[in-house]
Structure 1
Amino acid sequence: MTPSQTDLLTRLNAAPRDAARAMIAPLAERSEWVADAAVDQRPFTSDGDVAAALIEVILAAPAARRVAMFRCHPELAGREAVAGRMTEESQGEQGRLGLMSLDAGTHRHLTQLNAAYEARFGYPCIIALHRVPDLDTLLQSFETRLTADPVEEHVTTLAEIASVIRARAARAFTSTPIPLTTP
């Protein structure tokens, strides 16, 4: 662990509860209840510990609460992106793939995929964009997930959220910049 990592984790561990909760809340998209429960698991020894605490809270939640959390996520290049109402983290993740500046045909296709997914599952399609190398791969993955069984998709969505949280925690609590994409 680098000195800067130690400093960030030391600050998190020493911060008053509300301040510590605010430090980790952005890691779980618009779901402060997750940070509220996880913050009491301090002290954390690594970004992985922070992520694991958040993920454990989500996995322990009732299915209905998890689905409500899924609904807090923005659509891919959807209404919130167009209106500029996404979190800073989501803007960066979607921006890396050019989702903020799609051509009209691709935007229309993604809008159709968003609508079909929402109609089928009742929440937006959540994909850990840091693992997606390009727009074509994203569209292909999205189309494949539309064919999933609802229970299977719920599990996949949880895995995608866990991956996002791990990546966000690594970026937040490491001293070296971690890109939005992994090799």
Structure 2
Amino acid sequence: MKPMQYTLEQLNTMPPEAFEAALSGIFEHSRWVAERAARMRPFGSIDALYAAMCEIVADAGAERQFALIDAHPELAGKAAVQGELTAESTREQSGAGLAHCSQEEFDKLQRLNEAYREKFGFPFILAVRGYDRAGVIANFEARLNNARSDELRTSLEQIYRIARFRIDDLVTG
């Protein structure tokens, strides 16, 4: 199911609460980003909206950034199995074929999720658009070799990519 779309002009002129609700899914379970962005309007372009939202996260401090990272679901994890993903995450994981894993792939993803969380203390994050299941698994395996500081940085970079995809799906010129 495709999300409702808004024009940039609509977003710039709607009441703050409506703006926040419209953009609340851009950063997973982190409405605070949209709340702060609402106070920065009007935006001259979709790129300016995206840049402002990313800057809000970048300036939020380590504790809030970690909470944002930790708010993301595991890929093909418990939330997916139980149907508890956000609409955005459901679309993204399904688009990468994660809803159609073989039992072997599913078991491997569960082991990778567990190993990653044990090593780094937060879920593996990948902007899965453009990946298939094999690509997701290969990326997962490669990143398990990284240092925690590298993974924190990479996770935020991936969150920014996810946000861009979500904004592009939601906002029209």
**TM bracket, shorter-chain basis:** over 0.9
- Contact persistence 1:71–1:124 (CA under 8 A): yes
Secondary structure, counterpart of 2:122 in structure 1: coil
Identity of aligned residues (%): 37
The match for 1:154 among 152, 155, 168 is: 152
Structure 1 segments of 4+ aligned residues over 4 angstroms from their partners: none
How far the C-alpha of 1:60 sits from its partner, in A, is: 0.5
In structure 2, C-alpha distance between the alignment counterparts of 1:131 and 1:148, rounded to whole Å: 22
The match for 1:143 among 131, 141, 144 is: 141
How far the C-alpha of 1:35 sits from its partner, in A, is: 1.1
In structure 2, C-alpha distance between the alignment counterparts of 1:99 and 1:119, rounded to whole Å: 22
Other-structure match for 1:102: 101
In structure 1, C-alpha distance between the alignment counterparts of 2:120 and 2:130, rounded to whole Å: 22
In structure 1, C-alpha distance between the alignment counterparts of 2:9 and 2:51, rounded to whole Å: 17
In structure 2, C-alpha distance between the alignment counterparts of 1:87 and 1:46, rounded to whole Å: 26
Matching of residues 46-65 of structure 1 within 5 Å: 46-65=45-64
Q: Which digits, 9 at most, give the CA deviation of each residue in 1:91-127, with x for residues without a partner?
A: 0100012111211111000000000111111111010
* Unmatched runs of 5 consecutive residues or more in structure 1: 176-183
Q: Which digits, 9 at most, give the CA deviation of each residue in 1:148-170, with x for residues without a partner?
A: 11111111111100111111111
* Unmatched runs of 5 consecutive residues or more in structure 2: none
In structure 2, C-alpha distance between the alignment counterparts of 1:138 and 1:159, rounded to whole Å: 16
In structure 2, C-alpha distance between the alignment counterparts of 1:137 and 1:105, rounded to whole Å: 15
In structure 2, C-alpha distance between the alignment counterparts of 1:44 and 1:130, rounded to whole Å: 26
The number of aligned residues is 169
Other-structure match for 2:27: 28
Alignment partner of 1:173 is 2:171: yes
